[in-house]
Structures are given as C-alpha cells and as structure tokens.
Amino acid sequence: MKILVTGGAGFIGSHVVDAYIAQGHTVTVIDNLSTGYREFLNPKARFYQVDIADRAAVREIFAREGFDLVNHHAAQVDVRLSVADPLKDAHTNILGLLTVLEACREFSVKRFIFISSGGVIYGEPQRLPVPEDAPKKPISPYGVAKLASEFYLFSAKQTWGLEYIALRYANVYGPRQTPKSEANVISTFARQLLQGEAVTIFGDGHQTRDFVFVSDVVAANLVATERIEEINRASAYSIDDLAFNVGTGQETSVNELFERFERALNKKCDARYAPPRPGELQRNALDITKAQKLLGFVPKVSLEEGLRITMDWVRATPPS
C-alpha cells in the first residue's frame, strides 16, 4: 500500500513510518520540520519538507504519488500555544487538515487515519475512565480544533465517501520525544532528573494522566490501518462511532510519576511547585474497551518498563 504520513519526522509519526515500512508499505512523509527532525526520518521513506496548509504543494505531492491511505499525524500540539495564539493553532490543525482532505477528495484517496486527542476533546470528565461517547467539553483551542476536525471527517464520510478512523490518544511518551517536539511531563522529567536538575510540578501535582508508551500507540495505528475498511462498513451515526480511545485506562498523578522516577533512579530528587497552567486538565484516563473489542488493541508496555526505556534513550541522546 502507498501511505502518506503527515508529521512523519516527529516523535510519534516517525515511529509509525518505521512500522509501516517494516510491514512492506511504500511510505511518503510530509513534514515542515517545525517540531520534527531529519534524523528521525526513515531512509526508505520519500520526504517532502512542506507545510500541510500549503495547498499547491500538497496537491502536487498527491498528484505525483498516488496514495492509498493518509495517516495524519501533523499537528500543532502545544496546548499553551493554542491558548496564546488560537489563529496559529488553527492554521495547522484546521486549515492543514482541510488542505489534506481536499487533496484526498480530488485524487480519490478514500482512507484516512486521523490523530485526535483523548484528553483535550473531553475536557474535565464526569467519570473515569472516559468512554468515546462521553460529553465533549474542550477547554483549549487545541481541543476545539481536534473536535472540529473529527466533525470535518464525519462530513467527508457523508458527502463523498471517505473511510476514516480517529484515534484519540492519551498522553504518549517514549524515545524521540524532545522539548522541541511533543514533550510531555515524562520526557521533561527524564531529561531534567538525569541532568541532576530539579523538576517543576505545575499545580499541586494531584492532576492525573493516562500515560501510554509509543510502541503501543504504533500498534494501534497498524490495526486501524488493517481494519479501516471493515470498521467503515457499519453505519456511522456520530463521530464517536468511528473514534477509538488509545491509552491504558490507568490514572497516574504527577506526584506519583515523580516518585516512580525517584525509585527508578534510586535517589531522592528535587521538585518545585509552580502555579497551574491555563487550559490543562485535572484528571484523565481513557476507557479503551471499544478499541480492545473492535480493533484488538491491547497496551503491552507497563509504565515501569516505559520509563526505563525512555530514560535509556535520553541518556544515549545528546540534548538538542
């Protein structure tokens, strides 16, 4: 299959590219390298350094390559930036998506995997773990853009027959996650603690997240790719019918995470507390029952093992 991975030089996207190529697919990457790295690119992938909102450039690539499926990882992922500059967030997360979707329609690409968010689109949940049909209450422009994107995809399915799956990620972590890219608290803590620095905990540290290791997220992409046609045979009555949470279903607080790092490093570490950041959630964990049942998705990497692998990568990788 000929697959386009947008954002394929980034943290998660580059791992997905590697997995597709290992399966024998022909992969093309579009990435503007604003948060991606050339060194993360698989040498067997064809690469275009292009902004996904550049309509003429994207159209030219689609015309030349003839894709069977698009895996859309390219995004502006900084919640704080989206709060400070919603227009910049929308340029990539709304206009970029629409540019790619229009190219799909023009060049008859009927299969699309979209990377959504299992945290920000739900907002503060009423119950945990959060199922796909929970109320949608995004509190940041980033969350609004992800939710709007799913509605655009649903519209494309109804109006011109797009087959798609939306993967609503929990908090992904692992190798290749850097401060420039999609850094979350795990990669930030690992880098600071291994350098002997104090970490900053925003708020009281009781806020929770569902931390899922990058290889498990890659596995979800692979099964979604295999089953996208089957999933789309059933009638879809809402965006939730074609969305799947990708996480572990487990809550871990930031304070608990810090303690796990101390145990892994076998020493006491320094932490300072700072005011909470605007737009961030207090609690989150995703119900993955649907993904387990319909996609066969089962997360395999424990938080303990994932922290060890992440720290090993940080130790071996010079700061950039």
Positions annotated as catalytic residues are 142
d(CA 3, CA 37): 20
DSSP H/E element including 209: strand 208-209
Beta bridge partners of 212: 172
- State in Å, rounded, how far the first CA of the chain is from the last one: 34
d(CA 122, CA 264): 32
Q: Cis bond leading into 129, ω under 30°?
A: yes
- DSSP letter for each residue of 16-59: HHHHHHHTT-EEEEE---SS--GGGS-TTSEEE---TT-HHHHH
> 107-143 burial, b if ≥16 CB within 10 A, otherwise e?
eebbbbbbbbbbbbbbbebeebbbbbebebebbbbbb
**Count of CA atoms in the C-beta half-sphere (13 A) of 123:** 11
Report the candidate in 109, 144, 113 with the shortest Cα–Cα distance to residue 279. Answer: 144
Report the candidate in 241, 214, 94 with the shortest Cα–Cα distance to residue 157. Answer: 241
Find the radius of gyration of the CA atoms of the chain.
19
Report the candidate in 312, 316, 315, 280 with the shortest Cα–Cα distance to residue 79. Answer: 280
DSSP H/E element including 102: helix 97-106
